[in-house]
Amino acid sequence: MTKEEAIRKCEKYNQTQVLRFYDELTDAERNELLTQIEDTDFSLIERAAHEAKKGEITPIKAMTAERIKENEEKFKALGLEEIRKGHVAAVLLAGGMGTRLGSDKPKGCFNIGINRELYIFECLINNTMEVVKEAGNYPYFFVMTSDKNHDMTVEFFTEHNFFGYEKDKVLFFKQEMAPATDNDGKIFLEEKNRLATSPNGNGGWFSSMVKAGYDKVIKDNGIKFLNVFAVDNVLQRILDPVFIGATVDGKFSSGSKVIKKAAPDEKVGVICLEDGKPSVVEYYELTDDLMNTKDENGEPAYNYGVILNYLFDTGKLLETINNPLPLHVVDKKIPCLDEAGNYVKPETPNGHKYETLILDMVHMMPDNLPFEVIREREFAPVKNKEGIDSVVSARELLKKNGVEL
Ligand code: UTP
């Protein structure tokens, strides 16, 4: 892109401030900035300001833990058969910044062990290996990273010999970045020749997979379902044959692992129907009315929270790949250059990041099986250093589940 083209693009979107140090730059630095301006989607800032409201929310029925128990053997046999045939692959979402944990390494490199080393990535591979042993083959294991942590993640897996997983079945791909802005939607600079950017949320994983060419791996290997999950739940059951079996048995195009909420106002996204299609309402979108609605048994009607462990039919994903996902604007602390060009690391949120979220993909699917799992066995998120959903609480839960630390 030439300087004139960059000026035109910046003028169109009211972002000319990103060129304010242009004259001070070397030729190479100018080129870097122009390329980044060319590659960055400026329109998302405007789009984020005009997001549509949610539709009509009604309850959805979950498959309860009791029902699952009754059919466990049948579901498990069916799920293992799908895994053996190579019909299911795992997708680990590890592109996030993990800012709440306060480490600048990828979250998966965090050592959750106490008396021995046990990295989060290792924990997840160990969990997957339990199924690999039962099924007798290694499913594809995709790992999404971002510009900020890709090299460190790949090196970490390589150094640790993929924690015993079949190396050729682990495929990495990078998610895209989105510009970060001040509170008025003006894009920050993080260097005089670099826009401030951050990973574009966990909703872009499938389009990034396709950009990396992995739709070919899906088609060539007959992969029918992707089991997508978060890096930070160390009790995560990956490629759970019972979950896969239940989803396939019911001919669902997607499934969501859910837990019974601990309290009506617990901060988890709740599975529901929106205009008759499956959907997830975020806890801050759940009105008092919805929170207090009861079902025919007197139980809260919106009682099941998602834990970021989903199954998606690959055919349906490919059909909906061009449907835009809603953009979420998140307040964050964004290191940036001030007016004078000094680098500032803010103590409080100073601007916005723009993200799409995987929970919105549930609404793209024609149907969904909410599959209840037991919180103490499958949900130990590591979001904070201490307190709720922390390293401390996750260690306790790992110990309770017999994992040696
Ligand atoms: P979180 O919503 O907890 O975000 O991610 P985060 O970036 O890891 O952590 P904070 O909020 O900065 O502390 C849930 C899951 O989605 C992945 C994360 O890696 C985690 O597995 N994720 C999140 C991505 O892969 N990309 C993103 O852009 C954001």
Structure tokens at 68: 């699952």
What string of pLDDT tens digits covers the 405 residues of the chain? 999 999 999 999 999 999 999 999 999 999 999 999 998 999 999 999 887 788 999 999 999 999 999 999 999 999 999 999 999 999 999 998 777 887 789 999 999 999 999 999 999 999 999 999 999 999 999 999 999 899 999 999 999 999 999 999 999 999 999 999 999 999 999 999 999 998 999 999 999 999 999 999 999 999 999 999 999 999 999 999 999 999 999 999 999 999 999 888 888 999 999 999 999 998 888 889 999 999 988 889 999 999 999 999 999 999 999 998 999 999 999 999 999 999 999 999 999 999 999 999 999 999 999 999 999 999 999 999 888 899 999 999 999 999 999
The owner of tokens 């379902």 is 225
Residue of the nearest CA to atom 14 in ligand 1? 230
CA 376 to chain centre: 22
Tokens of 161: 């010999």
144 lines ligand 1 (CB under 6 A): yes
Instruction: Provide the pLDDT for residue 137.
Output: 94
Q: Ligand 1, atom 1: nearest CA belongs to which residue?
A: 96
At residue 186, φ and ψ (nearest 5 deg) are -90, 130
Atom 22, ligand 1: residue with shortest CA distance: 96
Question: What is the Å distance from ligand 1's center to 90 Cα?
Answer: 17
The domain limits of the chain are: 1-39, 62-250+307-356+382-400
Fold of domain 62-250+307-356+382-400: Spore Coat Polysaccharide Biosynthesis Protein SpsA; Chain A (3.90.550)
Task: Look at strands 270-274 and 328-332 and give their pairing.
Answer: unpaired
Sole residue written with tokens 């040696």: 404
Identify whether the C-beta of residue 89 lies closer than 8 Å to the C-beta of residue 382: no
pLDDT for the residue numbered 398: 97
Residue 326 and residue 334 in contact, taking contact as beta carbons nearer than 8 Å: no
Q: Confirm if 286 and 57 have CB atoms less than 8 A apart.
A: no
232 lines ligand 1 (CB under 6 A): yes
Distance 64 CA to ligand 1 centre (A): 28
Quickly tell me which residue has 């079949």 as its tokens: 166
Query: How many Å lie between the centroid of ligand 1 and the Cα of residue 107?
Result: 9
Distances (CA, A) of 173 to 103, 124, 128, 144, 268: 22, 18, 19, 5, 28
Residue 376's pLDDT is: 95
CA 350 to ligand 1 center in whole angstroms: 19
From the alpha carbon of 175, which atom of ligand 1 is closest? 26
Determine the distance separating the centroid of ligand 1 and the alpha carbon of 331, expressed in angstroms. Answer: 14
| Encoded tokens for 172 | 């990495």
How crowded is residue 318: how many other Cβ atoms within 10 Å of its Cβ?
A: 14
Q: Which helix (H) or strand (E) holds 271?
A: strand 270-274
Pick left, alpha or beta for residue 298 (phi over 0 → left; psi -120 to 50 → alpha; otherwise beta). left
